[in-house]
Amino acid sequence: MTRVLIRGGFVVSMDPRIGTASCADILCDGTRIVAVGSALEVADAEVIDAAGMIVMPGFVDTHRHVWQGAMRAVTADWSLLNYLGGIRMSAAACYGPDEMYAAQYQGALEAIDAGVTTVADYCHNVLSADHAYEAIRGLADAGIRAVWAYGFNGPPGASGLTQAGRVALARQLAARHFPGRDARLTLGLAPEEMPLWRSTQEALEQFRLACELDARVFWHCNCANSAGERPREALRLQQLGALDERTVLVHMNYTVPEEWQLVAASGAAVACTPETEMQMGMGLPVTIVAREHGLRPTFGIDIVSNNSADLFTALRLALQGARSQMNQPHDGEFYDGVPIRCDEALAWGTIDGARALGLEREVGSLTPGKQADIVLLETNSIRLVGWDRTNPAATIIQQASVADVDTVLVAGRVVKRAGRLVADERHACALLRAAAERIAARVGERGGFYVSPEETVQLMQSSLSG
């Protein structure tokens, strides 16, 4: 792989030892950053002119279900109950391996297009070995960096995989497709959610498998109450000895104070998804309470059957939502400053996200020795012209958008250049369009995407028995 020199950009490194630097250069050799400085003397390197651009680490999305892109916006007017019935318990069964590949390939490219270079892909629709192979292949072909979280979930009756079969398949996938922690694709595990546990013993086997495979655990936790009671799922996990520093707890909206203390002590991470949580009845993101317990909140897009791939928007929404909550004690009176600054929000989407995924030594900042996962934002546009160079994080969080993502590198390879993906975008769109049409037709044969609350309960009970 050739060397790449990014010349003359405004570098926002997210490394406190480097800080920000105007008119700076970044040298990449192979997959890694080897130098950050001014007027670097380099021969035999591809030069990317970054004049007038902000150069930043790629975003790290800590929770996304990439496979759902073939059902775009289907859930936009749904609650969490509607989503569980319509997608998880029903429409998911309409995916074959070909649809998994199309959705994973298109979805990973969509993430790259938006400046997301690393994604935690919570893949909870592995209905067969071929579904798994094609999901992984889609990510690999797109060129994104990902922690692919192998799910133990699935709609009732749609998979022939038993618990033993899923465990064996996970081991096989780990050996064949995930060579190590420094690879572009690494393995995670997504154990079944507690309300769908068939037995504690079976659930513990899933968590212990993650330890055996040295895989990060991603787990939907405390998303909803039950009969007016807090679920206390994090507490249960701790009691079972399954809560540790490899765990990423997702959502956490109905977590009690005792649990927050246990989570903080364990070293686990928290992933929030503002758009889904605010729409579907889970409540506001847990940004504030996580911070109060010394945790660094991180953020993801979540279900692309509902939300766009735009992490700029998710971070902005999270920041402004937290500010609004923290400003309430002022009761309308004037006050000085804001309780959370934009540079903290930028950390949520970069170095803090990397830390949550156990990848802080590889990505999340523009540090020599780390992977060359880099995003260039064009500021010479009608959208960003005149930006404040004394506070670049403010421009990134409050002003920038997907339209400003000019160039993206993953592992030193240019995957977006001059505002266009390097991959064959038309091919990706054609694959996804055809997959979406096939899925919609199959769902139509089942009665449509919407599933009534009564049928949803029946399907969940069937899942428990099956």
Dihedral sign, Cα of residue 104, residue 109, residue 113, residue 115: positive
Residues 302 and 414 in one domain: no
Residue 77 is assigned to a structural domain of this protein: yes
Residue 267 is assigned to a structural domain of this protein: yes
- Provide mean pLDDT across the span 208-213: 97
97-113 vs 129-142: helix crossing angle, rounded to 10: 30
- CA–CA gap between residue 242 and residue 257 (Å, rounded): 19
Say if residue 465's pLDDT is above 90. no
| Range of weakest confidence among 54-58, 99-103, 297-301, 461-465 | 461-465
Residues 167 and 301 in one domain: yes
Tokens in use for 235? 């507490």
Q: Are 248 and 266 in contact (CB under 8 A)?
A: no
Residue 447 is assigned to a structural domain of this protein: no
Residues 166 and 205 in one domain: yes
Q: Are 120 and 271 in contact (CB under 8 A)?
A: yes
In sequence order, which residues have a C-beta less than 8 Å from that of residue 295 and are 6 or more positions away? 263, 264, 269, 270
- Provide mean pLDDT across the span 166-192: 95
Q: Which helix (H) or strand (E) holds 29?
A: strand 20-29
- As beta bridge partners, residue 45 has 3
Residues 267 and 134 in one domain: yes
Quote the pLDDT of residue 1. Answer: 55
- CA–CA gap between residue 466 and residue 445 (Å, rounded): 23
- CA–CA gap between residue 466 and residue 456 (Å, rounded): 15
Residues 169 and 51 in one domain: no
Backbone angles phi, psi at 305, to 5 degrees: -75, -5
- As beta bridge partners, residue 7 has 49
The number of folded domains in the chain is 2
Q: Are 435 and 423 in contact (CB under 8 A)?
A: no
Task: Convert the pLDDT of each residue in 302-339 to its tens digit.
Answer: 999 999 999 999 999 999 999 999 999 999 999 999 99
Quote the pLDDT of residue 227. Answer: 82
Q: Strands of 216-221's sheet, edge to edge?
A: 298-299, 269-272, 247-251, 216-221, 185-190, 145-151, 116-123, 59-65, 302-303
- Provide mean pLDDT across the span 13-35: 97
Cα 430 → chain centroid = 24
Q: Ramachandran region of residue 110, left (φ > 0), alpha (ψ -120 to 50) or beta? A: alpha
- CA–CA gap between residue 300 and residue 62 (Å, rounded): 5
Quote the pLDDT of residue 22. Answer: 95
Measure the CA dihedral 6/7/9/12, to 10°: 50
Domain that holds residue 39: 3-57+368-421
Residue 406 is assigned to a structural domain of this protein: yes
Say if residue 180's pLDDT is above 90. no
Q: Residue 219's pLDDT band (boundaries 50, 70, 90)?
A: very high
Between 416 and 227, name the one with better pLDDT. 416
pTM: 0.97
Q: Are 258 and 189 in contact (CB under 8 A)?
A: no
Tokens in use for 348? 């949520």
Map tokens 């995989």 to a residue: 161
HEC letters along 214-274:
CCEEEEEECCCCECCECCCHHHHHHHCCCCCCCEEEEECCCCCHHHHHHHHHHCCEEEECH
3-state secondary structure (DSSP) of residue 307:
coil
Quote the pLDDT of residue 158. Answer: 83
Tokens in use for 105? 């390939």
CATH number at residue 199: 3.20.20.140
Residue 451 is assigned to a structural domain of this protein: no
Say if residue 409's pLDDT is above 90. yes
- Percent of the chain exceeding pLDDT 70 equals 100
Instruction: Compute how many other C-beta atoms are within 10 angstroms of the C-beta atom of residue 211.
Output: 13
Residues 13 and 121 in one domain: no
- Provide mean pLDDT across the span 52-56: 98
Tokens in use for 416? 């977006």
Say if residue 234's pLDDT is above 80. yes
Q: Residue 466's pLDDT band (boundaries 50, 70, 90)?
A: low
Residue-averaged pLDDT of the chain: 96
Residues 84 and 105 in one domain: yes
Q: Are 74 and 86 in contact (CB under 8 A)?
A: yes
Residues 77 and 139 in one domain: yes
Residues 255 and 396 in one domain: no
Tokens in use for 225? 């109450």
97-113 vs 425-445: helix crossing angle, rounded to 10: 130
Residue 89 is assigned to a structural domain of this protein: yes
- CA–CA gap between residue 236 and residue 255 (Å, rounded): 12
Say if residue 57's pLDDT is above 80. yes
Map tokens 């007027």 to a residue: 39
Q: Which long-range contacts (CB under 8 A, 24 or more apart) does 332-340 make?
A: none
- Provide mean pLDDT across the span 162-175: 96
Residues 124 and 238 in one domain: yes
Quote the pLDDT of residue 156. Answer: 84
Residue 457 is assigned to a structural domain of this protein: no
- CA–CA gap between residue 168 and residue 175 (Å, rounded): 11
Residues 27 and 123 in one domain: no
- CA–CA gap between residue 205 and residue 244 (Å, rounded): 16
Q: Which amino acid, residue 170?
A: A
Residue 463 is assigned to a structural domain of this protein: no
Residues 120 and 164 in one domain: yes
Q: How far is CA 432 from CA 96, 290, 324, 372, in A?
A: 13, 37, 38, 29
CATH number at residue 410: 2.30.40.10
- CA–CA gap between residue 275 and residue 315 (Å, rounded): 10
Between 153 and 299, name the one with better pLDDT. 299
